[in-house]
Structures are given as structure tokens and as C-alpha cells.
Amino acid sequence: METLAFIGLGAMGYPMAAHLAKNRPTLVWNRTFEKALKHQAEYGSRAVPLEEVAEAEVIFTCLPTTKEVIEVAEALYPLLRAGTYWVDATSGEPEASRRLAERLEAKGVVYLDAPVSGGVAGAERGSLTVMMGGSEEAVQRVRPLLFYAQKVVHVGPVGAGHAVKAINNALLAVNLWAAGEGILALVAQGVSAERALEVINASSGRSNATETLIPERVLTRAFPKTFALGLLVKDLGIAMGVLEGEKAPAPLLRLTREVYEMAKRELGAEKDHVEALRLLERWAGRAIQ
């Protein structure tokens, strides 16, 4: 049985690596090493120094941005072995990842971008969607090892997975913000947010924001921290790069990026992305309730 390795035991990586460890011998490394030791104790993975990760046949990364992926790839570079596959679950940057793939190819290492959607809950359940960029052969090789996934879609060559992920998250951002604006106006008119959502969610205006995020996190005032606002703003920046690279018309997505940049400045990058609606609430002088 091949040995796997997972780098980056954050909100997503920790549960994703657990699914690997349940199915294959799995090495784990994390910058804050206590998390790796905790993972070892909890799931029977093996916490190792970064250099030992190079011994795995398939290396997974789930780091904040492509910058950190490049950093660990450079640290590991002298030790990497030909025939290794690198599955990058980071929501990363297409162009920089294509350059990284070329650099790894010189060592005989095959890089695939494989970002995920489905959130922390999906990572825990093992029901993530994976969008893969890479050759058909490489996708076929690693596909059976994506134990955290329910759906895997090969979307194109290296970089295509990152591009699809960025656009998906731009749509999440649009839906969340737009729903917030609309519901706040209805609340001002005396319609409760709960009643408004009851209608919207049985109608054509619904989205994951209205069906899940707003009812479970805003109406309850729970605002759990699962996906940092700073990471969503990062994804909006990547989406802009994709749109501008193709000279695609995108006034709405451009504006969306601006409002989330504003929310990040006002609220802080470490806040949960759903808390962006708190800025709208502040402007409106009332809560979504």
C-alpha cells in the first residue's frame, strides 16, 4: 500500500488528512507541530519532520495560498523523488501553480491542483467536491486516494482547478452579500428574516447562502469560524486575475471584490466570511433577524 503525506492541518486539512489516515499509512506535517502530534494520537497518522514527507508516494498540501505551497515545495525540493505525485488542495493561484508544476516536473514530480469545496463540515463527512487540474493520467492515478471526496471533476490542465474554485467562491460571495442586502430591506419593511427565507428558499432566489449560511449562522447569531474572510478575499483576487487574464467583462464580480475588501478592512481578515454581513447590518442600523 502506498504511503501518503499531508501538509497543512488547518480547518480543512485536519479532517481531510483524517480520511487519508483511515485508508492508507499517512505522514502528517504542520507548521505548528502540536497539531500534527494531536492528529497522530487521534487518527493513527504519523507526525514527521518536513523532510520525511518526501518519502511518501503522494504528497497532499492544503495551505492558505500558493505562496506557502511554493515555500514548502522549495524546502522539500532537494529531497523529492521522481515518480511522486503532488496533490494541492489549496485554493491557489493558477499561473503560479503552472510555474510550480514545471519546476516539480524537472524532478519527475507530477503536480495537480485539486482544490475542494464543501467547507469544514464536508471535510469532516468526507463529502467534498474536488476540482482537478492536470493530465488525465495523473488524475486517474490519484483519484482513488481522494478519500475525503464525494465528487471529483477533472476540469482541465494544471491551473484549471484553481480557476474554477476561484469563480465558485466569487459566486458564493455574490450570493451571500446580495441575500444580505435584500433581506435587510425586507426586515426594514417589517418582514422577519425567517419568513423571508421561507419564501426565498422555496423560490428562485435561493442559494447556499439563503438555505444554509444565513439560517444556521446569522439568524442564530452563532457566526462560527470555519472559513476566514481573508481567505475569501484572497479567492476574489484570484478570480479577478482569471477574469482580467481573459479580458472577460465582470463589473459585478469586481464590485463584489471591493465590498469584501472593505469588510476585511473593517472587521479583520481572521473573522469568518459570513461575518461580512455584519458590515451591512452596521450600515443598515439593524440586524438580519
170-209: contacts with ligand NDP (CB under 6 A): none
Q: Which is nearer to ligand NDP, 117 or 201 (CB)?
A: 117
Compute the least distance from the CB of residue 218 to ligand NDP, in Å: 16
Query: Which one of residues 63, 130, 174, 280 is an interface residue with ligand NDP (CB under 6 A)?
Result: 63
Q: Is 141 in the site for ligand NDP (CB under 6 A)?
A: no
Q: Closest residue (Cβ) to ligand NDP?
A: 10
Site string for ligand NDP, 118-137 (x = CB under 6 A): -xx-----------------
Query: Which one of residues 28, 87, 231, 280 is an interface residue with ligand NDP (CB under 6 A)?
Result: 231
Nearest-10 Cα torsion for 82, 85, 90, 93: 60
The span of 7-15, 138-146, 175-183, 209-217 binding ligand NDP (CB under 6 A) equals 7-15
Cα 27–Cα 28–Cα 31 angle in degrees, nearest 5: 150
User: Could you give the 3-state DSSP secondary structure of residue 246?
Assistant: coil
Q: Is 62 in the site for ligand NDP (CB under 6 A)?
A: yes
User: On the CB side of 175, how many CA atoms lie within 13 Å of its CA?
Assistant: 19
90-109: contacts with ligand NDP (CB under 6 A): 90-91
Compute the least distance from the CB of residue 228 to ligand NDP, in Å: 6
User: Could you give the 3-state DSSP secondary structure of residue 156?
Assistant: strand
Q: Is 227 in the site for ligand NDP (CB under 6 A)?
A: yes
Q: Which is nearer to ligand NDP, 52 or 68 (CB)?
A: 68
The 3-class SS string of 182-241 reads HHHHHHHCCCCHHHHHHHHCCCCCCCHHHHHHHHHHHCCCCCCCCCEHHHHHHHHHHHHH
Compute the least distance from the CB of residue 154 to ligand NDP, in Å: 18
DSSP class of residue 272?
Answer: B
The span of 20-28, 62-70, 94-102, 213-221 binding ligand NDP (CB under 6 A) equals 62-70
What angle do the packed helices 229-245 and 94-105 form, to 10 degrees? 80
H/E stretch holding 130 reads: strand 128-133
Residue 115 near residue 89, CB atoms below 8 Å: yes
Long-range contacts of 154-157 (CB under 8 A, 24+ apart): 155/131, 157/133
Compute the least distance from the CB of residue 213 to ligand NDP, in Å: 11
Q: Which is nearer to ligand NDP, 119 or 180 (CB)?
A: 119
**Main-chain dihedrals φ then ψ at residue 262, nearest 5 degrees:** -65, -45
- What is each CA distance from 251 to 67, 114, 178, in whole angstroms? 28, 28, 15
Q: Is 8 in the site for ligand NDP (CB under 6 A)?
A: yes
Cα 110–Cα 147–Cα 141 angle in degrees, nearest 5: 30
Query: Which one of residues 4, 48, 116, 236 is an interface residue with ligand NDP (CB under 6 A)?
Result: 116
Compute the least distance from the CB of residue 239 to ligand NDP, in Å: 12
Residues that bind ligand NDP (CB under 6 A): 8-13, 30-32, 35, 62-64, 68, 71-72, 90-91, 116-117, 119-120, 226-227, 231
